[in-house]
Structure formats: C-alpha cells, structure tokens
Amino acid sequence: MPKGRVTVIDIAKAAGVSKSTVSLVLQGSPLVNDGTRAKVNAVMRELGYVYNRGAANLRQSGSKSKIIGVVVNDLTNGFFAELAVGVDMVVQSAGFVQFLSNTSENLDRQREVIASMREHGISGLILSPARGTEAADLKPLVTAGIPVVLAVRNVPGAKASSVVSDNREGVFLGVQHLASLGHHRIAFLGGFRDTAVFGERVAGYRAAATTCGLDCDEDLIVDSQPSRAGGAEAIERALSIGDMPTAAVCFNDAVAFGVCDGLRARKLEPGRDFAVVGFDDVIEAKTAVPALTTISVDPQGIGRRAAQLLLKQISAGKAEAEAIVSSVRLVVRESCGAANGPLAGRKQA
Amino acid sequence: MPKGRVTVIDIAKAAGVSKSTVSLVLQGSPLVNDGTRAKVNAVMRELGYVYNRGAANLRQSGSKSKIIGVVVNDLTNGFFAELAVGVDMVVQSAGFVQFLSNTSENLDRQREVIASMREHGISGLILSPARGTEAADLKPLVTAGIPVVLAVRNVPGAKASSVVSDNREGVFLGVQHLASLGHHRIAFLGGFRDTAVFGERVAGYRAAATTCGLDCDEDLIVDSQPSRAGGAEAIERALSIGDMPTAAVCFNDAVAFGVCDGLRARKLEPGRDFAVVGFDDVIEAKTAVPALTTISVDPQGIGRRAAQLLLKQISAGKAEAEAIVSSVRLVVRESCGAANGPLAGRKQA
DNA sequence: TGACTTTATTGGAACGTTCCAATTATGAAT
DNA sequence: ATTCATAATTGGAACGTTCCAATAAAGTCA
C-alpha cells in the first residue's frame, strides 16, 4: 500500500523552508527568492507532490475550483460532443478544466449531477437542460451566485444567461430555400413537441410557409426522437400520408441523416428524389453522401460563446443574465437538389 | 452579492445542536435520535446547505471524492459517447458521478486533465489513452494508489487493468466472413498505424488472409484518420490501386460509414457493389442504409465492465492489474451482400 | 432513590493549505 | 559599526468537516 499523500509540510521539511514559503511558491508569489523557488519546485517534483484543491478552496477567499461543469442532455448526439469541444477550447486557455456529464434526458440524473458538481465547488455551469427542466431547478444555483449559462435549450423564467441558435430564422431559411426550388409540400421532421426549441423551429416553419404561400398541413409536422433512428421513423410516417411531401426540413442533422437512411430503404435517393435540409451543420454534414444542405449553427461556436460568457461572469463576480441568439446561415449542399425530380414534378404534370 | 456558504456551524446554531451532531446526521450515523435528525434535516433544507466535499475529504481517513474520472481520446466518435453512457449506468448506482474529459488525441491535454482530476481527488480513473501515451504517464497514479482502468486502447508496460475488445479475433471473423462470400481482394481500411489497436486488428486481418488463402497485398492495408471522413479518404485510395479490392473490413464503424459515403460518391452502392464490414456496432450501425455488417463489441458493455472493474478496485483498496478481453461477435446485416455483384464477379469471369 | 447500563450529544483537535502580521535577513548609506 | 529600508521568510489562525474520547441524558432494575 503506498504511503499517504505528500503535503506542503513534507515539502517544507525536505526543502528546509517553512510551509508558508511552500505556499508562496505554489501561488507563484513574487515574494520568494528565485533560488528558494527553484529548490522548492525541485523537491515537489521529486516527492511527487499533488496539490489538494479541496484544502486550498477552504482557505482561499471566495475561491472555487478550476472546474467548469458542463451538463448535456444527450451525449450520443454528435452536436453535443462538438459543443463540448468548443467549450474546451476556451476554458482550457483560461486555466480551467471542463468536467462533462451526461443526463440522457433524465431530470433526476440532472439534479444529481449538478448537486455533485456543487459539492465539489464548480466555478460555473454550462447546461443544456434535460426535457422538463424548470426555472426552479436553477434557482438555488443562481441564488448561491454560481454563474450558469444555458446552451441550446432555454429555460423560461430562469435568471440565467443563454446561448441559443436562431431556431425560428434557421428553419425559415430552410423552408424558404426549398420553396424557391419549387417545392410545395414541405415537411418538418423530428424533435420533441414539448421543448422550446421545437416550438421555435416550427414557428419558423409556419412563418416561411405563410410567406411563401405553401400548404400548411398539420400532417406535414412529424415529431420523433431527435436522433438518426427517429429521423428514419419520421420519414416513414411522412411518406405514408395521402399527399406526400417532396421535401423536408429536419429538426437537426442527426434526424436528417436518419431521413436519408429511411429514403434509401424505400429505394429513394436523397437529393434526387426528395430534398432534405438539416439543422446544426455537424462535421459529418459535409462528408455525408449526398452532402447535407443544412442550417449552420456551428456547435463548437455555441460552445465557445457559452464558455466565454461564463468566464466573463466568473471574473466579474456577478451574474447578470444575458441572452445571445447565435445567428444561423443556410449552407447549400447536395441533399436538396430534388426540385426537378419525379416526386416534385408530379404536382405540375 | 449572495451571502457566503452555509456551513455545519450555521446549521448547528439554527437547529440548537452541536456541529458534531450535524456531522453525524450528514454521515447517516445511527447514533442520532430520530427527532434530532429530522430537525437537522429540515434546517439544512431551509437554509439550502451544500455539502463541502473538499473539506470533508480533508478529514476523512483515506477518503476520496465521489468522482470517477473518465478521459477519452475522441469524444466526437459516437463509440466513446456510448462507452461513457455505459460507465454512467454502473457508477451511478454506486453513488458516484462520472466526470468526463476529452483529449482530442492530445497528450499534453491528457496530462493536464488527469492532473486536474488528481487535484480534485478523484477516486479512480477510466482512460482511453491518447496516441503516444506511455506507461510512464500512468506510473504516478499507480504509485499513489489511484485505481486506473484502461479502456479500448492498452498501454504496454502500465501496471493497470484494462478492458479491450478482442481486436484480432474480431477482424479475423470479418475477413473470414467476406472470404466465405467469395471475396479474394479484401482491404483493411482506416486507423493510426502507431496504435496497438491497429496492430492487433491488422494481425487478425493477416491471420484470416492466411487461413483463407487470400491475397496478402500490402496495398490493401490503408491507414487513415479513424473517422468518417478518414473512411471516405481510405476507400478513395483503396479503389485507385491496380487490382482493386471488392470488400473491406474497416477499422471502426465511423470509418465504415465514411467508406459507404466514398463508394456512393463513385456511384457504387455499398452492399451491392462492394462489401463493407465495420467494427464496434455503434447504435447507428443498425439504422444506417445499408445496415452495417460489423464486429459487435458493445461500447456500452465495455464502459460497464471498465466501471465495474474500477469500483472493485476502489472498494478493495488495492490495485491489482487485471486484463479483460471483451469478446466480439460478427453481426451480419446488409452492407456485405456484394459477393455476386459486378466487382466481385470479375475475377471469375 | 441510587446504581448501573445504554443512548445521545458534545468539545477539541486533526486534516492541507492560505493569509497576514510579525520577524529575520540582506543590502545600502552614512 | 550603525541605521534604515527593502526583500525574504515565518508562525499562528482560519477555513468546513470528521473523528473520538468525554460528558450528559435517559432508561432500567433493585
């Protein structure tokens, strides 16, 4: 069994200085002679000293750990993996470390994870909330002065900052583009109806439909799991209604990939036989075949902004709720070149 | 600015008991009268008490946090997301929380992340090592008695436990299956040559080629980034050699998806025109079109086993290196029904 | 009621580190 | 050599919680 931990007392003894000097070295204080500093550092290396952050936090005034908690609702969606990568880019250079936790859309798990993060004294939290999260869930954090930034999904009533994409505008652009290609029957596929994101994206869908004088058939709005599997299911349902759609804007890129899978299962070629637009522009959107037309929200960009906002609040020592709506843009690739295909052409023939 | 944190002293005063009684309640000790316990719990709820894990760890003998550190080399690969979900299933019921960190194959980042985890007193570490990780990187952890379990990639010489899939056997099965379908020119696509996983999988490839009397052309082994984009690139290179392959076993499912993308970009249909076998059996393997034939290693299963192994070591208080080779199995789906297609039939004609 | 046993509660010190006022050491000027 | 100023180092107490021996309270029996 290895010996217990090496402490500043051990280092002090071995270096022939006081514990206070060791502490000064640890703090990078200019009040230490360079020779003494070098000696202490050498001893720490030699004895394998590992800082005890918990002990330090006890004494340091107003101090927290160097941890940023990041809690996401579905880690198996590549979007959130990329968001985490974006967060990492920013917090890393500020000397923080991101501890990422996944809730798999489970509210109890979310509460547990956040509670544990608080016990360990996180400096701040970036949260993509699980379905059903309420402002009351965030209140204790806000009251305790822990900076919180909501990402991707907002929580109405929560006095927390947020970084969300312009959901309404994004879907508006997607539908508008499909309409400009001549599509009249455009579906909206995927997503949970009880989330704010879904509501906003459908609002953009309806607005574009009205603006472009399109059919506004409720059957064209098909909810499903916002995953690839959910997308395959949603297109199945959309193509089994009487007056089939010829194109779709999908809740996110994962759903869009699933829609392409579902089309191929019916011997239809995405892009040629049916126009598909995604939302997110994950890395794979560019390399998929056909390359996916999508609303680019840059998940890494959202992660970076959320992290910047959080770091700003941490260093300002106050939490003033700010809302950032990340702008979106339409990236046209091959998945919606279907306007002249057999399906789309039927209305005109 | 909110008031400072609520401590056991505050709770003790408000409940009219001593701090020691509050501590006993926190520990769930049977030595406290039920009425007193109820009173203390009510006060804690009322005042919003948040336990200070760092302070508690200071005093508790041999104690660590309730954190399991999980460090992965590429979070954007769905395999690792699923592995993390599997870890979560196990550590959750043991009262631990998983803090997941991503290294993006960067060794310096890995060191940084592990160091930070140690400062915060993690109870144990599950590591899928970044490329280039050496036993020396793990030595300080092992010496300090911190349980470490390596997952997916082994680190030769490290006295740590590991859970890896049977790489050699898996690729052997895949190649053998393709040979049984009549393929003679079988490629191995994707992966970094300098990793042990690559070496093992190629060893299985070679063994199967020998056993099945296949061509053993070095040009049929094409390395690339083990990602979807890497897969698209690898198939491009494989189809530009003189005597083209008619089938491939891919380093992992992400590479396989990219290979399918690349085939389609050349107007070839995966499954019909070229047989594809993946490795991992991620969730999307089943729903992709064509559904992917793959070597099932069950990433969530690996995560669960790694977590079980780690928890076992944590509660035993000793770290005895154990190696678990997770068995694999071939799951036949649609992506390799190509033996009678035009490409495969050319050799016989 | 007193003695004994069991239950419940408590005060003080420990844990590793930081902070700050006090002390010591060093260097420069006279 | 002495004095003063500056640089460097130090000891003690604080932080929030736990542990353990000591103390107090409650219950039982003669």
Q: Express each pLDDT in A24-66 by its tens digit.
A: 999 999 999 999 999 999 999 999 999 998 899 988 866 667 8
Which of the residues B53, B120, B126 would you substitute to probe the A interface, choosing the one with the greatest number of A C-beta atoms within 10 Å? B120
CATH code of B67-165+299-326, in short, is 3.40.50.2300
Residue spans of the domains in chain A: they are: 8-51, 67-165+301-326, 167-298+331-345
Is residue B316 scored above 50 in pLDDT? yes
For residue A204, the distance in angstroms to the closest alpha carbon of chain B comes to 29
Q: What is the CA radius of gyration of chain B?
A: 26
Interface test with B, best of A93, A100, A292 (most B CBs within 10 A): A100
Query: Nearest protein residue to D20's C1' (by CA)?
Result: B20
**Contact between chains at A119 and B144 (C-beta distance less than 8 A):** no
pLDDT at A108: 93
Residues near B161 by beta carbon (within 8 Å), at least 6 away in sequence: B147, B148, B149, B150, B309, B310, B313, B319, B320, B321, B322, B323, B324
Element (H, E) at A275: strand A275-280
Mean pLDDT of B195-209: 93
Selecting from B51, B81, B115 the residue whose C-beta is nearest the C-beta of A75 gives B81
| CB pair distance less than 8 Å for A287 and B228 | yes
Residue A76 is nearest to which of B81, B99, B262, comparing CB atoms?
B81
Q: Considering only the top CATH level, what class is B167-298+331-345?
A: alpha beta
Same fold, A67-165+301-326 and A167-298+331-345: yes
Residue B264: which of A65, A102, A289 has the nearest Cβ?
A289
Report CB contact under 8 Å: A52, B97.
no
**Closest approach of A131 to chain B, Cα-based (Å):** 18
B16 C-beta less than 7 Å away from strand D: no
CA distance A165 to chain B (A): 20
Of B13, B326, B271, nearest to B149 by C-alpha is B326
Please report, rounded to whole angstroms, the spatial distance between the CA atom of protein residue B28 and the C1' atom of nucleotide C9: 15
The domain made up of A67-165+301-326 has a fold known as: Rossmann fold (3.40.50)
- Residue among B78, B120, B143 whose CB faces A65 most closely: B120
Q: How far is the CA of B117 from the C1' of C15 (A)?
A: 20
Nearest by CB to residue A54, choosing from B2, B58, B92, is: B58
Contacts of B100 in chain A (CB under 8 A): 75, 99-102
- Note the pLDDT of residue A216: 79
Mutate to test the interface with B, among A97, A98, A255 (most CBs of B within 10 A): A97
From A212's Cα to the closest Cα of chain B, the distance in A is: 33
Instruction: Count the Cβ atoms, other than its own, within 10 Å of residue A226.
Output: 27
User: Is A8-51 a CATH 3.40.50.1240 domain?
Assistant: no
Shortest Cα–Cα distance, B8 to chain A (Å): 14
- Rounded average pLDDT over B282-304: 89
pLDDT digit string, tens, across residues A115-157: 999 988 899 999 999 998 999 999 989 888 899 999 999 898 8
Size of interface A-B (CB pairs under 8 A): 162
| Residue A103, CA distances (Å) to A57, A108, A114, A287 in order | 27, 8, 10, 29
Q: What is the pLDDT of residue B338?
A: 43
Whether nucleic acid strand C comes within 7 Å of the CB of A48, the answer is no
Query: Do the Cβ atoms of A289 and B265 come within 8 Å?
Result: yes
A261 contacts on B by Cβ (under 8 Å): 287-289
Quick one: which of B307, B2, B279 has its CA closest to B148? Answer: B307
Q: Is the dihedral of CA A335, A336, A341, A342 positive or negative?
A: positive
B113 Cβ partners below 8 Å, 6+ apart?
A97, B71, B101, B103
Q: What pLDDT score does B341 carry?
A: 44
Q: Which residues of chain A have pLDDT under 50?
A: 1-2, 338-349
- The pLDDT tens digits of the residues spanning B7-61 come to 999 999 999 999 999 999 999 999 999 999 999 999 999 999 999 988 999 888 6
Instruction: Give the neighbor-by-neighbor strand order of the sheet with A221-222.
Output: A221-222, A186-189, A247-250, A275-280, A293-296, A329-331
Question: CB of B36 under 7 A from strand D?
Answer: no
Averaged pLDDT for residues B256-278: 93
Specify the DSSP element, H or E, that contains A81. helix A78-93
A51 touches strand C (CB under 7 A): yes
- Locate B227 and state its tokens: 């990602």
Q: Rg of chain A over CA atoms, in angstroms? A: 26
Q: What distances in angstroms separate CA A70 from CA A99, A281, A307, B103, B118, one per listed residue?
A: 6, 21, 10, 15, 19
- Choose, out of A7, A76, A235, the residue to mutate when testing the contact with B (most B CBs < 10 Å): A76
Residue of B nearest to A58 (CA): B55
Instruction: Give the pLDDT band (50/70/90) at residue B319.
Output: low
Q: Which nucleotide shows the minimum CA-to-C1' distance to residue A31?
A: D8
Report CA(A33)–C1'(D1) in Å, whole number.
Answer: 28
Percent of chain B with pLDDT strictly greater than 90: 70
Q: Residue A81 is nearest to which of B75, B101, B121, comparing CB atoms?
A: B75
Confidence of residue B344 (pLDDT cuts 50, 70, 90): very low
CA distance A300 to chain B (A): 11
Helix count and strand count (H, E) for chain B: 14, 12
Contact of B73 with B129, CB cutoff 8 Å: yes
Q: How far apart are CA A93 and CA A91, in angstroms?
A: 6
| Residues of chain A contacting residue B1, judged by C-beta atoms under 8 Å apart | 145, 317-318
